[in-house]
Chain A
Amino acid sequence: MATQNTISRKSDMSGQEYQWGFVTDIETDLAPRGLSEDIVRLISSKKGEPEWMLEWRLKAYRHWVKLNDAESEPEWANVKYPKIDYQDIYYYAAPKSVTEAPKSLDDVDPEMLATFEKLGIPLQERAKLAGIAVDAVFDSVSVATTFEKQLGELGIIFCSFSEAVKNHPDLVKKYLGSVVPYTDNFFASLNAAVFSDGSFAYIPPGVRCPIELMTYFRINTADTGQFERTLIIADEGAYVSYLEGCTAPFRKTHQLHAAVVELVALDDSEIKYSTIQNWFPGTPEGEGGVFNFVTKRGRADKNAKISWTQVETGSAITWKYPSVILKGDNSVGEFFSVALTNNYQQADTGTKMIHIGKNTKSTIVAKGISAGHGNNTYRGQVQIMPGAENAVNHTQCDSLLIGDKCGAHTVPYIEVRNPTARLEHEASTSKVSDEQLFYLRARGLSEEEAHHMIITGWSREVFQELPFEFALEANQLLKVSLEGAVG
């Protein structure tokens, strides 16, 4: 099975380096460096977008310029990085061979297929065995989407964002920016102006999507920013489970990734969104790596449920707060996260749960692991609005420290405006206890194995939320990412 291959391949590798750091040598169509209205127009015209889409981008661009002039790049997060020169980035990079969109998988550049093969992403027949529909995004462009036809029979739309703009403009127009408006924040504005592709999924009323949908993101070209946009709509009573994975080549310069994900869960529907974020974390000395500045938010209507699960092992810097607006009565929001920082990685991640409807419920389980010189911050907000009668929140954040040069921080914001709400927040920070280690060592495990076993057990609450194959992968990833941190 495909996933099995991936795992065995990964376990075979005994090195401590990032194994997804290769570069694919293919011809690339690059827009000039820098950002201007012309670049926004160029991206839009390359994609053959309708007028309304361009207008939206331009509004976003003008807003971003205002923010940039006012120096409103967010500074509150506990991360440090050199100032980004937004004029020194390529905002559009596309593999030349797909400038004309491939009709089927057979038309896709074999170089690229080989890349995804190498990454263990099933694009070909074996995808059928894995039972996952994949949308593969290479640099800024979606190169292949599998199972489109089979899903189409159920009325499910799963395609690249550009195709959705062409083929389903009404849906895109209705929901684009409805959860994350282009004015939301600095990086969301930037994304809205220059996003080049991403995935789009629509599940019609009452349909339970039979297979998992997956998008795989890959940054290839040097100095490019990747700005994809994902929009998922679960219509009334629908269900979908969505997976997201990402890697980037080994480069000594930083790459910017500013994505936006919008989830719309209409009445009685459920969206489960799982991420394994494995962008290039930089060298062990802290050179290079991806800046992952992502805005993810979902809106849950009446009786709807949105669940975010994330395993964050990659990126030099992670700035990410998948959130749920619990708008409808009885809606449910969940956030499960394991974030790992090793070497010089920094992560400031968490969630926001905004309770608006009555009897809304949210659960937050956040686990942070810091090793090496890594700094890991949980930053979360739980807001109970005056109308959120009987809202319930339970938050648990645990941090684990490995080594004496790292840092673990917890910054929860709890805001209660309704007296009938019940909120509980707990957090703990500790190291792997010597007793536990001794117990396992006494039973013949090496120090590294013992550490891994304890950390896996500690992360179990989050891993069990992941789809099975993803959970195995996450576990391996954790092991690889922690290599060299122990002993």
Chain B
Amino acid sequence: MTLAAPPTSVEKYAAAFESLSDSGTPDWLIATRLQAWANFSELGIPTARRGNELWKYTNLRPLADAGFEYGQIGPVSLDQIKSAGPWDDAWDTVVVVDGNFSAQLSSLNGTPGLTAGSLGEAIAAGTDNLESQFASLAGRENYAFTALNTAFAADGAYIGIAADTRLTTPVHVVFVTSDPTSSRATYPRLLISASSNSSLTIVESYINLSESSQLTVPVTEVFSDHDSQIRHYRIQIENEKSFHIGTARVNQKAGSSFTSTSFATGALIGRNDVHTQLDEPGAECTLHGLYMTSGQQQQDQEISTTHARPNCTSHQFYKGILSGKSHAVFSGKVVVERDAQKSVANQKDLNLMLSRGARIDAKPSLEIFADDVKCAHGATAGHVDRDTLFYLRSRGVDEETAKAILIRGFADEMLDEFEPAALREFVERTTDDRIATLLAESDTLGTV
């Protein structure tokens, strides 16, 4: 149950909503926005501490108290984007600045079978199925943040891939928050539509170029038609003052496969909420992720999969490394519905704690209504003990290197999942930088 916060948390967003421009917006989208706004006004920012199972461990009070601005887009150069996140010139790249598509910064290679570009333009052009797809997975349910995003939905990125098209080169969608000084709220939106028998690799990254606190509430909807294959990566490296409340909703048809790997090290409060609906027999999804937190950061993974039909397979596997006074939450859920016989589901969350004051809350849950299933889950939390460190030291490795090797060893299993070379190089480099910060704030690694 989501309880409404005091109306003040809604009022802050009301003025911006009122001033939204409707010009050139189709009627159906205006209606969808109004409905979503009505929804959000009723729900508010979910700050209640009692009976608020979805936000049991993450307190959104700092977000509800903060104020954000809307309006002018700051100047952004391609070089800034290239140096802040992963980049490969060979990729088709769609750049979205403060929620709006930037044709100037995007580099599209005209790949056959691929439609990549502005979501707003795709809507205006009346792209096939878009009207029925948009907000059908995220935005009409009873959830404050998808409602908030949908209420402000105007632009973002649209990626469509034609039937039987198999792309080997990744498509990169970069969401940039530009403003260098003030705090800004943005509601990026990404819609991915993979037609039957298609194959696509997509990198979704969130970066901000400013040092100030930003609010990013992205929503990604993925439609995976029968026998399609999507390899998805999500990079969240926003600055450590920002709020990032992300939601992805995936619908999979027969025989489709969706694999997503998330890399989250940014934001003060970061949330990665993913739900995959295995809607037809034989669908398979794999949700992976690595999160690293330090200082006062909070990283919240809300991962759920619904097995609606028989013979589907799902895997959830997340790893976390925590230092400083940071806090990580893993809330995994697998629902196997009555009809979904022969389901196979696995769920795993492993955490490494490096300091006193760090905190982990894990809730890996299973809800099973079919009897012919194989489901398992596991969760662990632990530290690197003295003996392990001693083992490396006794082989002539100095202490700092030994510690770094141990943490990197824990992370490697996830880093191996990042296949495109440029992406792999980026996450490895970022991880090594992060490890230095984690180690600086660690007070228990190898000491107990």
Contact = CB atoms under 8 A, between A and B. Distances in A.
Interface in A374-430: 386, 389-390, 399, 401-430
A81 interface: no
Q: Secondary structure of the B side of the interface? A: strand
A168 interface: no
B382 interface: yes
A380 to B, nearest CB: 10
Interface in B325-368: 338, 341, 351, 353-368
Interface residues of B, number: 38
B363 A422 contact: no
Contacts of B341: 404
Contacts of B361: 413-416
Contacts of B360: 414-416
Contacts of B367: 407, 409
Contacts of B366: 399, 408-410, 427, 429
A422 B381 contact: yes
B125 interface: no
Contacts of A415: 359-362
Given A412-B365, A419-B356, A431-B373, A76 B53 contact: yes
B444 A414 contact: no
B379 interface: yes
Nearest to A413: B363
Contacts of A401: 368, 370-371, 373
B381 A414 contact: yes
Contact of A407 (B368, B380, B381): B368
Contacts of B54: none
B377 to A, nearest CB: 5
Nearest to B374: A430
B305 to A, nearest CB: 14
A160 to B, nearest CB: 38
Contacts of B444: 419-420
B392 interface: no
Contacts of B15: none
Nearest to B331: A413
B359 A416 contact: yes
Contacts of B354: 419
B391 to A, nearest CB: 18
Q: Secondary structure of the A side of the interface? A: strand
Contacts, number: 121
A413 B379 CA distance: 10
Contacts of A430: 373-375
B360 to A, nearest CB: 4
Contact of B382 (A399, A408, A421, A431): A421
A464 B365 CA distance: 28
A101 B46 CA distance: 56
Interface residues of A, number: 37
B378 A404 contact: no
A403 B381 contact: no
A427 B355 contact: no
B376 A429 contact: yes
Given A414-B379, A415-B360, A421-B382, A407 B365 contact: no
B377 A407 contact: no
B51 interface: yes
Contacts of A421: 353, 381-383
B376 A426 contact: yes
Nearest to B347: A427
Q: Which of A402, A403, A427 has the most CB of B within 10 A?
A: A427
Nearest to B448: A420
A422 B382 contact: yes
Interface in A331-368: none
Interface string A61-72: 000000000000
A411 B363 contact: yes
Contacts of A424: 378-380
Nearest to A402: B371
Interface in B4-31: none
Nearest to A398: B376
Contacts of A428: 374-377
Contacts of B369: 406-407
B371 A414 contact: no
Nearest to B333: A411
A427 B378 contact: yes
A425 B380 contact: yes
Given A412-B365, A413-B363, A420-B383, A427 B338 contact: no
Contacts of A404: 338, 341, 370-372
23 contacts: A76-B51, A386-B356, A389-B448, A401-B371, A404-B341, A404-B370, A410-B364, A410-B377, A412-B363, A412-B364, A413-B362, A414-B379, A415-B360, A419-B444, A420-B448, A422-B380, A423-B379, A423-B382, A427-B378, A429-B368, A429-B373, A429-B375, A431-B373
Closest 7 CB pairs of A and B: A419-B353, A401-B371, A414-B362, A429-B375, A416-B360, A425-B379, A428-B376
Interface of A: 75-76, 386, 389-390, 399, 401-431
